[in-house]
Amino acid sequence: MTSGVPAAPAPGDAATPFHDLAEYVAIPRVTALRLAPDGSWLAASVQTLSADRKKYVTSIWRIDVHGGQPRRLTRSAAGEGGPQFLPGGGLLFISKRPDPDGKAEDGDSRAALWLLPAGGGEARVIASPAGGVTGLETAAGSDAIAVMSPVLPDDERLRKERKDAGVTAILHETVPARFWDHDLGPADLRLFAVTPEGTADGAQEGAPGGVTATAPAGDGGTYATRDLTPDAGRALLEPSFALSPDGTLAATTWWRWRDGVLFHQELVLVDLASGERTVLLTDPELNFHSPAFSPDGRYVACVRGTKLTADEPEHYTLVLVPAREPGQARDLLPHLDRWPQDPVWEPSGRAIFFMADEGGRRPVFRVDIASGEVTRVTADDGHYTELSAAPDGAALYALRDAVDTAPGPVRIDLATGRTVPLPSPGGQLRLPGRLTEIAATADDGQPLRGWLVLPETASPEHRAPLLLWVHGGPMSSWNSWSWRWNPWLMAARGYAVLLPDPALSTGYGSDFIKRGHRRWGQRTFLDVMAATDAAAGRDDIDESRTAMMGGSYGGYMANWIAGHTDRFKAIVSHAGPWALDQMLATTDFPYHFYPQFGDPLTAPGMYEENSPHLHLAKITTPMLVIHGNQDYRVPVSEALRLWWDLRRHQVPAKFLYFPDENHWILMPGNARVWYETVFAFLAEHVLGEPWRRPSLL
């Protein structure tokens, strides 16, 4: 019987972009969306390949809400991102491109804040703090601007002295030391006000941190940049913040560290004139983030999350608190068993829109402030992000994607719930297959569901090999498009790809998550095996040729599955935990895992029951281990130990290592090599083809 797997077309002859990796990595990617104050157009961030094709460069495009072709607004080798509007229509963005009016030293590549005037003309720098700009927010009803920037003590002097002395060392006296893929310190993130000089704010004497920088203003004046949080320390780690409509207050997350290792996230207000800080919401057992001011500035809505414990997983809801009266917040969603994200106010102030995972989708919801009534706005299979409300209250604008649709701008009509695609810089993509939904029942009777990507060739006469792909998180869902974990690249090579949502997945309620709490291994394993059985039983699937892969928590499941079954021909483990006690001590974020896992010395049960490395002796399946050296969430030590353990136990294995990548493989060339290696490894062990080492390895 033939394999039914067609060879991928030669480069240049691809039937779709997914048949040719060079063409795939060159597809424009829309990553952010902001609606202009008058509601007439959208500013979109779009990633495209650089001229040398070695990296992605972000630029800003104009998308007319009434149609017409998107138009590129910015262009430079350094790129531009983070678009935000001023009330008068001026467009702010962040870029490392050279300032033609500046006096930057050679090698100075700090990210500055630029302003593109509403009436046209050249963009110019209005703020360039020594540490660069890392975040930006504006006010809906004033010209107030706030940015985030890392600051050293005696910033300009110390930066120069460290550079001149060739010093990169960091002395840590507090936690954390690093985050995801970057070191923390010696600079700490601070909140800055950016105001036109000559205004009351800009001219204020004795403001915290003083006036740290000035730059020409868009109208010929200058802007002052003032440090509002000189005592922040590690409190502004990865903050989410917002400005009140009148531009007088900033609401921001504030990390409160205790006992040297644990934390909770407060919500604080910072006065942009004086820098005075007020704690709006705090509770050692809760975290607050994603603040959003009401249109009249009287209230702040935000997401509230419970802390993960040994007994309970976290849970999230949406709360409301008066901006001028710190105290108890009102839960707006007491009966909604879903996790709300990214609240956006209705212009009338009577309701809030938000998104939440729901059964393999991520629809938009609306909650009425007065009654608490929750309604679902979108009815399709979409996954929505980057939500903006039209000024007239008639529509929403967002990026919509799905497992079978790349992100693109859409208009959501609030009267009908109809979603209308807008012209996108990314264009329309033809897929090399089709998407269907699949159902299964777990051993404990729990209904399960997932997506099944089928190649064009799949049929009873040409049964497709099956690739089980477990998502990361673990509290996540297969409900969106992914450029990094893209199943359509596998479908283009003839594989059917199973994307299940097992225990711990979001969008199915608290009890579904609890099923896997502290049972990372066995419970999820049984769920994904039930889903695999359901898929393998189809008449268009060849159950004798199956493989498994996953990244992050999916990599953990790859390691766990390898030690608990030999049903798969090959397993690909990307950035997966291997020895849990080792990972807890080396990850950048032990404060998250510790409350659930416990101390391995005094409470080893979680580790003994769930650590994949304890089942090494049972592994016989060939494995491809993949890891980036700059992955601090799941440190490369997990892959190094796994690789050594597999080799010393004579398990057929390969190790694909990226010295300059992190938890995700982001550079175009490395992404291509990642997929080429996975294709070759699966072809050898699943399809019976000879091993073909990628040419650049």
Task: Report pLDDT digits (tens) over 144-156.
Answer: 999 999 999 887 7
Question: What is the arithmetic mean of pLDDT over 437-447?
Answer: 98
Question: How do residues 154-183 score in pLDDT, each as one tens digit?
Answer: 877 899 999 999 999 999 988 889 999 999
Residue 1 pLDDT level (bands cut at 50, 70, 90) = very low
Residues 6+ apart with CB under 8 A from 154: none
Answer yes or no: are the C-beta atoms of 421 and 458 closer than 8 Å: no
Question: What is the arithmetic mean of pLDDT over 679-691?
Answer: 98
Residue 13 pLDDT level (bands cut at 50, 70, 90) = very low
Q: How far apart are CA 592 and CA 308, in angstroms?
A: 8
Domain with CATH 3.40.50.1820 in the chain: 433-685
Q: Which of 93-107, 386-400, 432-446, 633-647 has the lowest mean pLDDT?
A: 93-107
Residue 108: is its pLDDT beyond 70? no
- Structure confidence at residue 198 (pLDDT): 59
- Structure confidence at residue 199 (pLDDT): 54
At residue 57, what are phi and psi to the nearest 5 degrees? -120, 135
**Residues, the chain, total?**
697
- Structure confidence at residue 103 (pLDDT): 59
- Structure confidence at residue 6 (pLDDT): 38
**Looking at residue 328, what DSSP letter applies?**
P
**Looking at residue 589, what DSSP letter applies?**
-
Question: What is the arithmetic mean of pLDDT over 665-678?
Answer: 98
Residue 399: is its pLDDT beyond 70? yes
Q: Which of 194-203, 408-417, 595-604, 669-678 has the lowest mean pLDDT?
A: 194-203
Q: How far apart are CA 212 and CA 519, in angstroms?
A: 51
Distance between the two ends of the chain, CA-based, in angstroms?
A: 33
- The beta strand positions in 516-561, using DSSP E, are 541-551
CB burial string 386-413: b at 16+ within 10 A, e below: bbbbbeeeebbbbbbbbbbbbbbbbbbe
CATH code of the domain occupying 433-685: 3.40.50.1820
Question: How do residues 198-209 score in pLDDT, each as one tens digit?
Answer: 554 444 333 334
Residue 328 pLDDT level (bands cut at 50, 70, 90) = confident
Q: Which residues pair with 409 in a beta bridge?
A: 399
Question: How do residues 214-259 score in pLDDT, each as one tens digit?
Answer: 554 445 457 899 999 999 999 999 999 999 999 999 999 999 988 7
Q: How far apart are CA 595 and CA 21, in angstroms?
A: 42
- Structure confidence at residue 218 (pLDDT): 45
Q: Which of 306-310, 350-354, 409-413, 526-530 has the lowest mean pLDDT?
A: 306-310
Residue 9: is its pLDDT beyond 80? no
Q: How far apart are CA 429 and CA 524, in angstroms?
A: 33
- Structure confidence at residue 426 (pLDDT): 84
Question: What is the arithmetic mean of pLDDT over 112-122?
Answer: 92
Q: How far apart are CA 80 and CA 59, in angstroms?
A: 5
Residue 260: is its pLDDT beyond 70? no
pTM higher than 0.85: yes
Answer yes or no: are the C-beta atoms of 680 and 697 closer than 8 Å: no
Question: What is the arithmetic mean of pLDDT over 436-447?
Answer: 98
Q: Compute CA 24 distance to the chain's CA centroid, rounded to the nearest angstrom.
A: 21
- Structure confidence at residue 144 (pLDDT): 96
Please state, rounded to an integer, the average pLDDT across all residues of the chain. 93
Q: How far apart are CA 624 and CA 580, in angstroms?
A: 20
Question: What is the arithmetic mean of pLDDT over 656-671?
Answer: 98
Residue 474 pLDDT level (bands cut at 50, 70, 90) = very high
Nearest to 243 by CA among 286, 220, 272, 214: 272
Q: Which residues pair with 271 in a beta bridge?
A: 249
* C-alpha gyration radius of the chain: 26
Q: Is the peptide bond before 595 cis (omega within 30 degrees of 0)?
A: no
Q: How far apart are CA 427 and CA 419, in angstroms?
A: 17
Question: How do residues 270-302 score in pLDDT, each as one tens digit?
Answer: 999 999 999 999 999 999 999 999 999 999 999
At residue 311, what are phi and psi to the nearest 5 degrees? -95, -30
Answer yes or no: are the C-beta atoms of 292 and 345 closer than 8 Å: yes
Q: Report CA dihedral (338, 343, 344, 346) to the nearest 10 degrees.
A: 60
Residues 6+ apart with CB under 8 A from 336: 317, 356, 365, 374
Residue 601 pLDDT level (bands cut at 50, 70, 90) = very high
- Structure confidence at residue 4 (pLDDT): 37
Q: What is the DSSP string of 1-34?
A: -----PPPPPTT--SSGGG-HHHHHTS-EEEEEE
- Structure confidence at residue 109 (pLDDT): 80
